Structure 1
């Protein structure tokens, strides 16, 4: 991940965790509300390019959702694996606040620092995570470097 992607992952971390949890809960009760058409609707022609079977459509939709949720999990895991690189106390506090979904202004108010100073600390966190990412990509022997994050 580049610095901008790391910055976005830090900003979106809180909702990504919530969405992953929500999707896992939804997958537990898969397929409980699907009913095939009956009566006159079952004899009418179906739209071209789509399956008329609601169960099959739901399988396709959930397969696409799984791919999307997997991408969120990769981003969350990337951040979680690199949290240990942050050792300075202020940086740890800012990182925890970011992961909890707080805005830069809210973090500044919480810590008694200016938004500009909080932004500098966040940039330092992103740089450290990016540097760790660069080192792990260099040591990775797989042809697809994304698998190494």
Structure 2
């Protein structure tokens, strides 16, 4: 499901009923300190879009029990998409570290098998290295899980412009560059971006795949 809510509709539905504009009496938002026409994104807009785009009801099933966790997942999704390119590089770095440390196949690493038995200075150093490797291994697993979750969800985005926006975000491209690439205004780009993020939030967390 893909529903892009235009900015003018968000201003009408949200800004004109918000105390930050004195319920539509002021054109300057007291929260953003900007004219409402200059605002590019707002948590209150996201809340409205969550309700409009079906995060509460998806295919007849209740996805999120209330708005607060839904918004938390939207925020988490946006952060993970922004960090996707970094996570790929970090996965490569951690895999290289563990392989260079003598682990061979990274997946075979386990702290129990390599915990030192001796005592003394050398034993302490070995123990510290094992603990360090275990910490890096756990971080690697966490990053791999996040990347797999993003990639599974991305497969379900079917609109071509939304797919282009999503791929560009995951590649670490800047917002202005992405808007130019798809040939839309910056305002329209942010509308598409918010729609993509909310859809991805449902796909990544709507079935409680991750806590």
Structure-1-length-normalised TM-score: 0.72
Give the C-alpha shift of residue 134 in structure 1.
5.0
Query: 2:45 corresponds to which residue?
Result: none
Mapping of residues 59-138 of structure 1, within 5 Å: 59-133=130-204, 135-137=206-208
Q: Distance in 2 between matches of 1:60 and 1:135?
A: 35
Q: Conserved in 2, the CA contact under 8 Å of 1:16 and 1:72?
A: yes
Structure 2: runs of 5 or more not aligned: 1-71, 104-119
Deviates more, 1:65-74 or 1:95-104: 65-74
How many residues of Structure 1 are paired with residues of Structure 2 in the alignment? Answer: 124
Give the C-alpha shift of residue 65 in structure 1.
1.6
Q: Distance in 1 between matches of 2:158 and 2:152?
A: 14
Q: Distance in 2 between matches of 1:107 and 1:73?
A: 26
Q: Distance in 2 between matches of 1:120 and 1:92?
A: 14
Q: Distance in 2 between matches of 1:77 and 1:27?
A: 20
Task: Return the match for 1:29 from 74, 78, 100.
Answer: 100
Structure 1: runs of 5 or more not aligned: 33-44, 138-144
Give the C-alpha shift of residue 102 in structure 1.
0.5
Query: 2:78 corresponds to which residue?
Result: 7
Q: Conserved in 1, the CA contact under 8 Å of 2:74 and 2:197?
A: yes
Give the C-alpha shift of residue 135 in structure 1.
4.5
Structure 2 residue 205 is the aligned partner of structure 1 residue 146:
no
Task: Return the match for 1:55 from 126, 130, 134.
Answer: 126
Give the C-alpha shift of residue 59 in structure 1.
1.0
Structure-2-length-normalised TM-score: 0.52
Whose helix fraction is larger, Structure 1's or Structure 2's? 1
Give the C-alpha shift of residue 136 in structure 1.
2.6
CA offset digits 1:26-59 (Å, max 9, x no partner): 1111159xxxxxxxxxxxx98xxxx972221111
